[in-house]
Amino acid sequence: MNFCNQCGAKVDLRIPPGDLIARHVCDACGTIHYQNPRLVVGCVPEHEGRILLCRRAIEPRRGFWTVPAGFMENGETLQQAAARESKEEALADVEIGSLLTIVHVLHAQQVHVFFRAKLPIPEFAAGTESLEVELFRPGDIPWHDIAFPSTEYTLRRYLEDKAAGQEPHHFAEVDRRISR
């Protein structure tokens, strides 16, 4: 951040009084610009043992496969966000189930939250952010073409838990920050 989004003046990066972390501070209008992690919410929709994946039509990772997921909006719950993303990316009506994974993606300043989900009727199609949408048997999942580490982690936990007949939730973290 170089300029204040409230008044347009140049901002300074420094630790405000009483704080512990450097912030972008605007001396013109006094605004302190806090930057906090963003929530990405998704689900693993299943229909009769097959899993719904979307091939991304947008960067990052265009052309790679992922489960339906995206940024949470204000005014919705995690489950509503997960269902909405399935509708947008796969034109699929899913029933959101239990919490599956929480992945802290530290280098991207994001927290990814995934739920188990059912796709009762196998009706789906590519939304505007998808090139194609497909149901995969577990043995056919394109592991080498999965878009993100959090997606792969989530799919692997999903399949393991299903094989074990359990529905726990899992925490993980991904950190690809460059050390300085």
- 15 is a contact residue toward Zn ion (CB under 5 A): no
Please tell me the distance from the alpha carbon of residue 32 to that of residue 29, in angstroms, as a whole number. 9
Closest CA to 96 of 132, 120, 129: 120
Q: Would you say 5 or 109 has its CB closer to Zn ion?
A: 5
- 13 is a contact residue toward Zn ion (CB under 5 A): no
Q: Would you say 28 or 58 has its CB closer to Zn ion?
A: 28
Residue from the set 7, 13, 15, 22 that interacts with Zn ion by CB under 5 A: 7
Please tell me the distance from the alpha carbon of residue 155 to that of residue 116, in angstroms, as a whole number. 10
- 6 is a contact residue toward Zn ion (CB under 5 A): yes
Return the percent helix, strand and coil in the chain, to nearest 5: 20, 35, 45
Least distance from Zn ion to the Cβ atom of residue 50, Å = 52
Closest CA to 151 of 107, 78, 109, 100: 100
Residues 6+ apart with CB under 8 A from 79: 96, 115
- 32 is a contact residue toward Zn ion (CB under 5 A): no
Query: Could you tell me which stretch among 5-13, 101-109, 132-140, 158-166 binds Zn ion (CB under 5 A)?
Result: 5-13
- 28 is a contact residue toward Zn ion (CB under 5 A): yes
- 5 is a contact residue toward Zn ion (CB under 5 A): no
Query: Could you tell me which stretch among 30-38, 61-69, 96-104, 142-150 binds Zn ion (CB under 5 A)?
Result: 30-38
Please answer whether residues 171 and 111 qualify as being in contact, where contact means their C-beta atoms are separated by less than 8 angstroms. Answer: no
Query: Could you tell me which stretch among 21-29, 69-77, 147-155, 169-177 binds Zn ion (CB under 5 A)?
Result: 21-29
Look up residue 175 and give its two tokens.
Answer: 């950190």
Binding footprint of Zn ion on the chain (CB under 5 A): 4, 6-7, 9, 26, 28-29, 31
